[in-house]
Every structure is written in structure tokens, then in C-alpha cells.
Amino acid sequence: MKRFINILLHPLTVTFLMLFFDQWLKIWVKTHLTLGSGFPVLGNWFQIHFIENKGMAFGMEFGGDWGKLALSLFRIIAVFGIGYYLFKLSRGTHRWFRVCMALIFAGAIGNIIDSAFYGLIFNDSFNQIASFMPDEGGYAPFLHGWVVDMLWFPLFEGYFPDWFPIWGGEHFLFFRPVFNIADASISVGIVSIFLFNKRFFPKKKEVPAEQAVETN
């Protein structure tokens, strides 16, 4: 059992599993739903809602075609940097820190695959279900593909009270952004590192000078 857990928590295993589930769900959604469609999973609280993100995570966009290209190139550079850092991590590093880095690495790769290749291997999803490797070619050139998002948690909605600053009286929905497994993987990895930073990198206890002299 211990050996199985060690294998399961190995950075390569974590990276592979997250990539597999991320790409499996994206390809399923892309080849079974039209853009803007979806279905409830847990009532109205959790839904599959298919959108395509032209830019950053959680549906945010970034600077048109040139911004898209710059973002894709930045992602590729970042992935190589994260991958190199993960490869260089020693076994003495906290296990869960390595897992967190693997989650970030896998999420970054997952969204790069969409940006780099989905435009080449799928046609668009506007009013139609996309086909894999269509005869007429894909909907976008290399590095200009759109990231597939589908996880939506509109847990509750309502209106801000009139006295609330800036948004008083306006409608709100929580949680509004639609995202994917890769986005969630990156977010969980980053937040976990932030929350457990002291556990991952404990400070070494300083030995008083007098005690060090006596030990020697």
C-alpha cells in the first residue's frame, strides 16, 4: 500500500493523471456539445457549461491575436521553466510541495495543448458539434487555439444591498467564472504552496553558540 501511494504521489504520476483527465474532459466536451450548451451535474450548483477561452484562465481575455500569441509563448517558456525546476527538486524536498509543483506543471501543459493544437485539429463549435481532423481544416493556426472551459459552479445569486459600495443594487452570481481541470490544478497547487509554505520550507533551528561549542 505504501509503495502504491508513493507511486501515486510521484510528480510524474500526478502530472500524467491531471493531463489525462483534463484532456479527456476537454475533448469529450468539444466533440459532444455546441458552444454555450451544457447540462446540470448537481442541480444548479454544479453544471457542465461549454465555453472557449481566448486568453487567460477563468474566461479572462488578453490583447487580441497578438496578445494571444504572446500569452501562448509565455506559457511555453513558463512550462519549460517549471519542468526544469521540478526535475531539479531533490528527494529531500517536502513530498507535498513536489505534488503541488506537479499540479501547476500539469495545468500549464494542459492549457498549452489547447492553445497550440486545438485550432489545428478541430473545427469551430458555433452552432455545431466540432469534428476531429475535419476535411476543411481547423479553425485557427498554431498557437492561436482557444482553451476549452466547462466547469461551472453558480452556487448562489442575488443582489447587493443598496448601501454596498460600488456594486450596490447590482446582480451578483457566485461562482461566475467557467474553468477547466487545468485551471483548477494550477490554482490548487499555487494556493496550497501559499497556505503551507512554512510546512514545506521549515526554518532550521539556530543552535546557540555556547551549545555549538560544547558539542564540538
**Taking Cα atoms as reference points, which of 201, 26, 185, 179 lies closest to residue 105?**
185
**Taking Cα atoms as reference points, which of 69, 80, 132, 87 lies closest to residue 108?**
80
Catalytic residue annotation: 149, 183
The per-residue DSSP string of 175-215 comes to T--EE-HHHHHHHHHHHHHHHTHHHHSPPPPPPPHHHHHHH
Retrieve residue 29's grid coordinates: 466536451
**Under 8 Å between Cβ of 110 and 22:** yes
Q: Spell out a b/e string for 61-88, using b for 16 or more CB atoms within 10 Å of the CB, else e.
A: eeeeeeebbebbeebbeebeebbeebee
**Under 8 Å between Cβ of 145 and 120:** yes
Task: Give the SS3 label for residue 61.
Answer: coil
**Cell match 493544437: residue?**
117
Work out the number of other CB atoms within 10 angstroms of the CB of residue 54. 20
